[in-house]
Amino acid sequence: MGTAVAEKECNPILFERHFQTSLPEVYQTLPEEEIDSRIGEAKRSLGSSLVILGHHYQRDEVIKFADYTGDSLKLSQLAASRKETPFIVFCGVHFMAESADILTGPHQKVILPDLNAGCSMADMAAIDQVEECWYLLLENLTTPPIPITYMNSEAALKAFCGKNGGLVCTSSNATKTFEWAFKEGEKILFFPDEHLGRNTAFKMGFQEDDLAVWNPHRELGGTTPERLQRARIILWKGCCSVHMQFTPKQVLEVRERHPEIQVIVHPECRHEVVELADEDGSTEYIVRRVKESPPGSQWVIGTEPHLVNRLAHECSDKLVLILNPSICLCATMYRIDPPHLLWILENLLKDKVMNQITVPEETASWARTALDRMLTIS
pLDDT in tens, 189-231: 999 999 999 999 999 999 999 999 999 999 999 999 999 999 9
In angstroms, the CA 246 to CA 250 distance is 7
Mean pLDDT of 130-155: 97
* pLDDT of 345 strictly over 50: yes
Checking if the pLDDT of 17 tops 50, the result is no
The conformation of residue 288, written as its DSSP 8-state character, comes to H
**Per-residue pLDDT at 146:** 98
Residue 23 lies in a domain: no
Q: What is the pTM of this model?
A: 0.90
pLDDT of 86 reads 97
User: 78 vs 34, 63, 67, CA distance in Å?
Assistant: 30, 16, 10
Q: Give domain status of residue 21, yes or no.
A: no
The string over 172-183, giving b where at least 16 C-beta atoms fall within 10 Å of a residue's C-beta and e elsewhere, is bbbeebbebbee
* 130 and 229 assigned to the same domain: yes
Partners of 50 in the beta sheet?
Answer: 87
Please report whether residue 377 resides in a domain.
no
Q: What is the mean pLDDT of the segment spanning 260-271?
A: 97
The residue among 135, 227, 233 whose CA lies nearest residue 188 is 233
Whether the pLDDT of residue 13 is over 50: the answer is no
Confidence class for position 12, pLDDT limits 50, 70, 90: very low
159 and 247 in a common domain = no
Total domain count for the chain? 3
Which residues are CB-contacts of 273 (< 8 A; sequence separation ≥ 6)? 246, 247, 248, 250, 251, 265, 302
Show which of 238, 264, 280 is a domain's final residue: 238
Residues 157 and 231 in one domain: yes
Task: Report yes or no: 39 and 340 within 8 Å, Cβ to Cβ.
Answer: no
pLDDT tens figures, 287-329: 999 999 999 999 999 999 999 999 999 999 999 999 999 888 8
132 within a domain of the structure (yes/no): yes
Question: Which residues form the domain of 96?
Answer: 31-120+332-360
Average pLDDT over residues 254-270: 97
Q: What is the pLDDT of residue 10?
A: 36
Extended beta strands in 21-99, E state: 50-55, 68-70, 87-91
Using CA atoms, how far residue 22 sits from 223, 294, 331, 343, in Å, is 43, 47, 17, 11
**100-113: burial string, b at 16+ Cβ within 10 Å, e else:** bbbbbeeebbbbbb
Mean pLDDT over all residues of the chain? 92
Whether residue 16 has pLDDT greater than 50? no
